[in-house]
Amino acid sequence: MEKIVICGKRPLNGTVRMASMKNAALPIIFATVLVGERCIIKDLPDVSDINLSLEILVQMGAVCERNGRETMIDTSSIDPDTDIPLELVKKMRASYYLVGALLGRYQKARVGYPGGCDFGTRPIDQHLKCFSALGAKADVVGGYIVADAPDGLYGSHIFFDAVSVGATVNAILTAACAEGMTVIERPAREPHIVALANFLNACGANISGAGTDSIKIRGVKKLHGTLDGEMIPDMIEAGTFMAAVAATGGKVTIENVIPKHVESITAKLIEMGVTVETDEDNETVTVERDPDKDLSRIMVKALPYPGFPTDMQPQICALTCFAKGTSYVSEGVWDNRFRYVEELIRMGAHILVEGKTAVIEGGYVLKGTEVTAVDLRGGAAMVIAGLASEGVTAIDNIDLIKRGYDDIVGKMKGLGADIRLVTFPDT
């Protein structure tokens, strides 16, 4: 079994480059199924969720070739009726983007019910709602999402009841080639939605308003491949490194980041007394904290973009353990995203979770011990806690961290952390 082992209390210093954003890359990878021609995508991150999604496409008959910075995906000869093994689709959430992509191209889809991190219930009612609104019959049958539009797909007015990244992606994929105009009201506004729209527009789609409160899609008959699929930097990876520097102290310049995307994180770190600066060209963010200066308490609520990202909620909670006073971290997206808190308590943190709010009594000394990555970002929170704690922290279940972080160990080590991957015999 592999673990991340950290000897804490070393400041981070230097420069680190962020990978592309997993949650933007996933919709684009599955969008190539809708495109149906050869696409070249640049700078896919080397994380297991991306490799898994490429494996799913290969199982369906696609050709996927990684060549340096470029990945070629050709979905022209996929078999839409492929029964992808359930154990593959259940390893991630984004596999359900296949439903929108297959429905858009073949007017039918049958895809195993997806898995993903455990945050309590993760309904798909808004996905089913958008498939139906566009003319398909869609439901969950025996562990599969099944959708069928024998009479074709037709543009429609969709008003989402919940702001959902996944349902917005599926609505865009289903509507891009539907007949007529689709308007999506109350869509998710995350940068990854804009990235998906830009990619599909580069393939001949007609999508406007992504990133705003209303997305308009004029359906086109056919899409074409592109040789220029661009990725965006991973704002959550950047936020994780920003929080790590705030926790340990030191000075780190983060490259390949869009400062606007991390604005809500920057604002909270500044409130805590951390210096965060953007360079003149708006291309890097430098985070600096004097380790001898106390961090101030904060109140944070995780919300859909442009609010503070829920995917940074565990990392900021870990950081507040090192701040003076009582901090409040509320979750405004998921029912239960505090399973990692018990692991922080194991290290000596004083945290009480009341409903959807964690109350953190900061300033207690945290000491390293054996902890678990309960999910992807919960695992990142343990890395931050380990880096800033006394003694040795050993994190297991790290496959969950590898789902979304491209070489977190190597990058932290490059900044001066005493961190390594260690293989232990299985017990």
Name the site residues for ligand EPZ (rule: CB under 6 A).
Answer: 23, 26, 93-94, 117, 122-127, 162, 164-167, 188, 310-311, 333-334, 376-377, 404
CA angle 123, 124, 129 (to 5 degrees): 130
In 3D, which of 30, 45, 27, 56 has the Cα closest to residue 402?
A: 45
Report the alpha-carbon distance of residue 421 to residue 6 in Å, rounded. 9
Taking the least distance from each CB to ligand EPZ, the nearer of 5 and 136 is: 136
Contact 381, 397 (CB under 8 A): no
Amino acid at 283: E
Report the alpha-carbon distance of residue 294 to residue 288 in Å, rounded. 13
Q: Which of 39, 117, 203, 321 is catalytic?
A: 117
Give the shortest CB-414-to-ligand EPZ separation in angstroms: 23
Taking the least distance from each CB to ligand EPZ, the nearer of 84 and 392 is: 84
Give the shortest CB-13-to-ligand EPZ separation in angstroms: 27
**Residue 117 is a catalytic residue:** yes
Taking the least distance from each CB to ligand EPZ, the nearer of 240 and 320 is: 240
Going through 246-372 in order, the beta strands assigned E by DSSP cover 250-255, 275-278, 284-289, 295-296, 299-302, 323-331, 350-354, 357-362, 370-372
Taking the least distance from each CB to ligand EPZ, the nearer of 295 and 374 is: 374
Structure-token pair, residue 361: 């009594």
Give the shortest CB-192-to-ligand EPZ separation in angstroms: 7
Q: At 230, is the secondary structure helix, strand, or coil?
A: coil
Determine the residue with CB nearest ligand EPZ: 166
Q: At 272, is the secondary structure helix, strand, or coil?
A: coil
Tokens 């080397």 locate to 46
Give the shortest CB-398-to-ligand EPZ separation in angstroms: 15
Taking the least distance from each CB to ligand EPZ, the nearer of 188 and 366 is: 188
Structure-token pair, residue 204: 């001949």
Give the shortest CB-404-to-ligand EPZ separation in angstroms: 5
Q: At 157, is the secondary structure helix, strand, or coil?
A: strand
Report the alpha-carbon distance of residue 44 to residue 148 in Å, rounded. 31
Give the shortest CB-109-to-ligand EPZ separation in angstroms: 16
Taking the least distance from each CB to ligand EPZ, the nearer of 110 and 127 is: 127
The secondary structure of 46-106 as a DSSP string is --HHHHHHHHHHHHTT-EEEEETTEEEEE-TT--TT----HHHHTT-SGGGHHHHHHHHHH
Amino acid at 33: V
Taking the least distance from each CB to ligand EPZ, the nearer of 188 and 257 is: 188
Report the alpha-carbon distance of residue 92 to residue 115 in Å, rounded. 5
Give the shortest CB-164-to-ligand EPZ separation in angstroms: 3
Q: At 313, is the secondary structure helix, strand, or coil?
A: helix
* Catalytic residue positions, numbered: 117
